[in-house]
């Protein structure tokens, strides 16, 4: 070992190796970051993605000329937005109710998946697009 101290070129070589090895250890010990996985259920619906559900289940009565237009026009986003701005909880209560005299639509034609999508859409601020 005393010969190493006396030969500067050998010391430089070993110090370089030690430095490279140390850098390798530091970079190898970085914290591993888990990838972000987007669950399909977390994808936010918008009016555009739910328009067919609204058209099929609501617009027949909740549009001009319909039997329930006095309770709101559901034929376009602007009208629905105005309704939800004033009574989003009422909307949620109506579509989630099991009472046939209170629920919307009265025939109970929304699937559980559609109800969940509509509730999440309202709770997320009912984005348009």
96 and 68 within one domain: yes
- The CA–CA distances, whole Å, from 128 to 17, 24, 49, 71, 123 equal 60, 50, 9, 21, 13
114: domain range? 43-123
pLDDT in tens, 39-67: 545 668 999 999 999 999 999 999 898 89
In a domain, 69, yes or no: yes
pTM, two decimal places: 0.65
pLDDT in tens, 109-128: 899 999 999 999 999 999 99
In a domain, 53, yes or no: yes
99 and 73 within one domain: yes
How far is the C-alpha of 119 from the C-alpha of 122, rounded, in Å?
Answer: 5
Handedness of CA 49, 52, 55, 58 (dihedral sign): negative
Mean pLDDT of 93-102: 91
- What total of structural domains would you count in the chain? 2
117 and 63 within one domain: yes
């Amino acid at each position: 070992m005393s010969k190493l101290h006396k030969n500067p070129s050998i010391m430089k070589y070993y110090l370089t190796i030690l430095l490279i090895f140390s850098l390798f250890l530091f970079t190898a010990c970085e914290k591993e970051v888990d990838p972000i996985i987007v669950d399909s259920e977390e994808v936010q619906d918008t009016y555009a993605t739910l328009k067919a559900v609204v058209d099929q289940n609501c617009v027949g009565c909740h549009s001009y000329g319909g039997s329930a237009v006095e309770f709101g026009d559901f034929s376009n986003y602007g009208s629905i937005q105005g309704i939800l701005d004033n009574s989003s909880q009422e909307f949620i209560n109506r579509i989630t109710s099991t009472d046939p005299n209170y629920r919307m639509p009265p025939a109970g034609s929304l699937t559980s998946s559609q109800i969940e999508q509509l509730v999440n859409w309202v709770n997320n601020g009912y984005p348009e697009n």
